């Protein structure tokens, strides 16, 4: 409130508004922390994954106990954020954002923040944003390098103005093998949330309108203002192919040797599944949110919405066959 460009009025506006955060890994955890401490009124957090010990180096919202319990990140984030600021309505939803559920999960929020680890989901967010005229802030990081830009429909370039397709991003293929430093994700999340807070507090005139890239290792920082593409597929021609589900969903998981399998509209009773599997496989554990078991060299984690993450392979065929065998086809 003492910071004049934001002021008491900006703070009051922030406390009466909301945002949806898509993905709560490293950037998402840092962004959620800042927004909740900053006093946003309501924050919805969407995440498909669970906490592991190897996340703790950069995912600043989670603790060792969350990893020991294999809590879904959306659940651990909600609990930890409520202990930070109990005035904020935090809603963690364990879900993978897909063309089938994106409109339901994003609707009603004046801002979408990017905490995802893949460009398919970013193009889906971009489609929703342009179609419904809702701003979003893009943020990505890998190794020591990151990028961020606020997309304001009708005013700024959109993600599709910058990149033709996920393949042209050049960031995604590498995150499995080259890691990511804690400092870059916190820096990118800070830049992302600063733009988001301007939008939420009614200070959009203060948006800098730049795509910022930075590298905490080389010390190189760049800031440029991208032009809108006069022939953009999304913001000019309004072809929302990701939202329409015309693009194959992404099934590999960033930063780990795993694939994800979707079984939509399938609700699993984890206790029943635990009892059934305990007779045939080893290491069966469940915590009310997910169930895990071992089929060496693989480890399967199944969520109550029927989704599963198979660790130990990147081959979807292997994952599908083990899923059919142990969970059902
Ligand atoms: Zn565009």
**Sign of torsion over alpha carbons 125, 129, 135, 138:** positive
What is the Cα 257 distance to its own chain's centre?
18
Can you read off the two tokens belonging to residue 131?
């179609």
Contact 153, 109 (CB under 8 A): no
Percent of the chain with pLDDT over 90: 73
Residue 252 has a pLDDT of 63
CA of 202 from ligand 1 middle (Å) equals: 24
Dist. CA 135–CA 281, nearest whole Å: 47
Percent of the chain with pLDDT over 70: 92
Instruction: List the single range of 97-106, 164-173, 227-236, 316-325 with lowest mean pLDDT.
Output: 164-173
Dist. CA 135–CA 51, nearest whole Å: 29
CA of 1 from ligand 1 middle (Å) equals: 35
Is the pLDDT score of 311 beyond 60? Answer: yes
Would you place residue 172 in the very low, low, confident or very high pLDDT band (cuts 50, 70, 90)?
low
CA of 159 from ligand 1 middle (Å) equals: 6
Contact 152, 138 (CB under 8 A): no
Long-range Cβ contacts of 62-67 (<8 Å, 24+ apart): 62/29
Residue 284 has a pLDDT of 93
Mean pLDDT over 136-156 rounds to: 96
Instruction: Please tell me whether residue 290 adopts helix, strand or coil conformation.
Output: strand
Choose, from 24, 158, 161, 175, the residue flagged as catalytic: 175
Dist. CA 266–CA 305, nearest whole Å: 6
Instruction: List the single range of 14-23, 251-260, 270-279 with lowest mean pLDDT.
Output: 251-260
CA of 157 from ligand 1 middle (Å) equals: 5
CA of 212 from ligand 1 middle (Å) equals: 17
Can you read off the two tokens belonging to residue 267?
């609700």
Mean pLDDT over 11-32 rounds to: 97
Q: Cα Rg for the chain, rounded, in angstroms?
A: 20
Is the pLDDT score of 329 beyond 90? Answer: no
Dist. CA 184–CA 20, nearest whole Å: 22
Instruction: List the single range of 129-133, 224-228, 308-312 with lowest mean pLDDT.
Output: 308-312
Dist. CA 20–CA 107, nearest whole Å: 9
Helical packing angle, 73-84 and 26-38, nearest 10°: 30
Instruction: Please tell me whether residue 267 adopts helix, strand or coil conformation.
Output: coil
Q: What is the pLDDT of residues 227-270, one digit of tens each?
A: 999 999 999 999 999 999 876 665 666 556 888 887 666 788 99
Helical packing angle, 182-200 and 26-38, nearest 10°: 40
DSSP state at residue 249: P
Residue 328 has a pLDDT of 83
Is the pLDDT score of 137 beyond 80? Answer: yes
DSSP state at residue 143: B
Contact 114, 22 (CB under 8 A): yes
Is the pLDDT score of 175 beyond 70? Answer: no
C-alpha distances in Å from residue 194, one per residue of 117, 206, 248: 20, 10, 33
Cβ neighbours of residue 271 closer than 8 Å, sequence gap 6 or more: 286
Mean pLDDT over 301-327 rounds to: 88
Would you place residue 215 in the very low, low, confident or very high pLDDT band (cuts 50, 70, 90)?
very high
- Residue 232 falls in the annotated catalytic set: no
Would you place residue 47 in the very low, low, confident or very high pLDDT band (cuts 50, 70, 90)?
very high
Residue 255 has a pLDDT of 57
Mean pLDDT over 110-120 rounds to: 93
């Amino acid at each position: 409130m003492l910071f004049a460009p934001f002021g008491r009025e900006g703070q009051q506006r922030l406390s009466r508004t909301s945002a949806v955060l898509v993905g709560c890994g490293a950037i998402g955890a840092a962004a959620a922390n800042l927004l909740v401490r900053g006093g946003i009124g309501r924050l919805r957090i969407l995440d498909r994954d669970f906490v592991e010990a190897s996340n703790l180096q950069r995912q600043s919202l989670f603790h060792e106990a969350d990893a020991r319990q294999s809590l879904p990140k959306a659940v651990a984030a909600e609990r930890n954020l409520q202990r930070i600021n109990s005035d904020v309505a935090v809603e963690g939803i364990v879900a993978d954002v897909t063309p089938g559920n994106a409109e339901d999960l994003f609707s009603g929020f004046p801002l979408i923040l990017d905490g995802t680890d893949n460009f398919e989901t970013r193009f889906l967010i971009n489609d929703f944003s342009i179609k419904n005229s809702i701003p979003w802030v893009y943020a990505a990081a890998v190794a020591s390098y990151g990028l961020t830009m606020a997309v304001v429909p009708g005013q700024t370039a959109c993600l599709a103005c910058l990149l033709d397709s996920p393949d042209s991003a050049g960031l995604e293929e590498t995150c499995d093998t080259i890691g990511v430093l804690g400092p870059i994700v916190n820096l990118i999340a800070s830049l992302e949330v600063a733009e988001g807070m301007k939008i939420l507090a009614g200070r959009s005139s203060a948006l800098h309108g730049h795509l910022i890239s930075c590298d905490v290792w080389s010390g190189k920082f760049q800031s440029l203002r991208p032009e809108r593409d006069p022939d953009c597929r999304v913001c000019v021609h309004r072809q929302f192919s990701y939202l329409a589900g015309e693009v194959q969903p992404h099934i590999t998981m960033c930063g780990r040797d795993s694939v994800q399998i979707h079984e939509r509209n399938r609700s699993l009773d984890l206790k029943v599944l635990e009892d059934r599997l305990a007779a045939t496989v080893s290491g069966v554990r469940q915590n009310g949110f997910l169930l895990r078991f071992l089929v060496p060299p693989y480890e399967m984690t199944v969520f109550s919405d029927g989704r599963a993450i198979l660790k130990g392979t990147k081959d979807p065929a292997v994952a599908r066959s083990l899923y059919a065998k142990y969970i059902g086809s």
